[in-house]
Amino acid sequence: MNTLQQSLLFVAILVSLGLLGAFIYHLSPVLTPFMIAAALAYLTDPLVERLTSKLKLPRTLAVTLVFLVVIFLFVIVLLVLIPALQQQIVALAAKIPGWLEWLQKTVMPELVAMGVVQQDLGIESVKSNLTEHMSQASSFAKWLWHTLFHSGLAIAEGFVHLFIIVIATFYLLRDWKKILSAINALLPTKYAPTIITIANQCDGVLSTFVRGQLSVMVALGSIYGLGLALIGVNFSLLLGMLAGLLSIVPYLGSIVGLGSALAVAYFQFHDIWHVGGVLALFGVGHILEGMVLTPLLIGDKLGLHPVVVIFAVLAGGHLLGFVGVVLALPITAILVVLLRELLHRLPNPLQQGEIRGS
């Protein structure tokens, strides 16, 4: 395959990805349960492969066992984690106005008298806006609850989507190898080796991000949540999950999680010991993330600079909201793989003597 053909192939791949994205966007209401099923199948396929290869279980039995474990974890999250998280969010939201009032009446006058700040930084405005938004959020939550659980059509649609996700995930997992073999058979013989090579590289990056980053997020969230609970800080589950989720962006999880935990610890205890405990906890968590979790679970396969990661997440959030934040890094990683492969296959002008030094 000459250079022109390779370049045209990469352009065709990029155009295909764009068309696929447009197709998914316009049919998202219909495709959503199938996309969720595909994502679950992709995440759990390595577990099925281990059961079939190491324990020599039939694939259908291995899929059934993995499926039961996933359903069990989902039920635990639904019945235990979400209610506890909801209680902590409500309790935290109720305390924030009081904390802001304490800052306004106690801290800010002292800072103004010391000349550290020139005014009260608009805390009263922040408090009023926060109260207004909390009221709006409460009204929206009540409306959403009424709509979801008191509308027969919404309940029926939810059960239909859940049924589709369960059935589609099971059959995708069971026939995963057959699906990959069928896709390989459809590839043009002339371009099949290049397409398979690129697909394997994209799979390596995606598996690193999806499985590895998800594992890091869960591990960090568990470490911070459990550590804050042992220290005695309120809202430990919420703060731990916040730090774990935001760890998708380098340093953001540590900074936001640490700042939030320090504020809660100070307002709760008003002493330096618990604040020092929070600092020590996040210091240990940051060290574990950099020296143990990330090298062990992700390594250097993702190949994205932290600045690229931050830009991708912000751009994805601006374009598509929360969905864009979730999809930003996988899509960026795939584009990086395609660009890297294209540049690797293009002729090097330095080697061909097209650029001559003085």
Instruction: Render each residue's pLDDT in the chain as its tens digit; 358 residues.
Output: 566 666 676 677 677 767 766 766 666 667 778 878 888 888 888 889 889 988 888 998 999 999 888 888 888 887 888 888 888 887 887 787 777 777 777 767 766 666 666 665 555 665 665 565 555 555 555 555 555 555 556 667 777 888 888 899 889 888 988 888 888 888 878 778 878 888 888 787 777 777 777 888 889 999 999 999 999 999 999 899 989 988 877 777 888 899 999 988 988 888 889 999 999 999 999 888 888 887 777 665 555 666 777 787 778 777 766 666 667 777 777 787 777 777 776 655 444 544 444 4
Question: Looking at the domain assignment, is residue 260 inside a domain?
Answer: yes
Using the 3D structure, point to which of 186, 221, 248 is the last residue of a domain. 186
Q: Angle 340-249-242 (CA atoms, 0-180°, nearest 5)?
A: 155
CB within 8 Å of 44: residues ≥ 6 apart: 66, 67, 70, 173
Q: Which two tokens stand for residue 110?
A: 């002292």
Domain that holds residue 312: 191-345
Q: Is residue 15 part of a domain?
A: no
Domain end, chosen from 186, 221, 242, is at: 186
Structure tokens at 326: 């979730």
Are residues 181 and 195 both part of a single domain? Answer: no
In a domain, 225, yes or no: yes
Cβ atoms 286, 292 nearer than 8 A: no
Based on the fold, state whether residues 205 and 180 are members of the same structural domain: no
Q: Is residue 11 part of a domain?
A: no
Report the C-alpha gap between 7 and 151 in whole angstroms: 53
Query: For residue 5, is it within any domain?
Result: no
Classify residue 294: in a domain, yes or no.
Answer: yes
- Do 233 and 173 have their domain in common? no
Query: Domain ends where: 186, 207, 238?
Result: 186
Token representation of residue 56: 């020599």
Contact between 257 and 237 under an 8 Å Cβ cutoff? The reply is no
Same domain assignment for residues 89 and 137 = yes
pTM of the predicted protein model: 0.68
Same-domain pairing of 140 and 232: no
Number of domains into which the chain is organized: 2
Please indicate, yes or no, if residue 282 is contained in any of the structural domains. yes
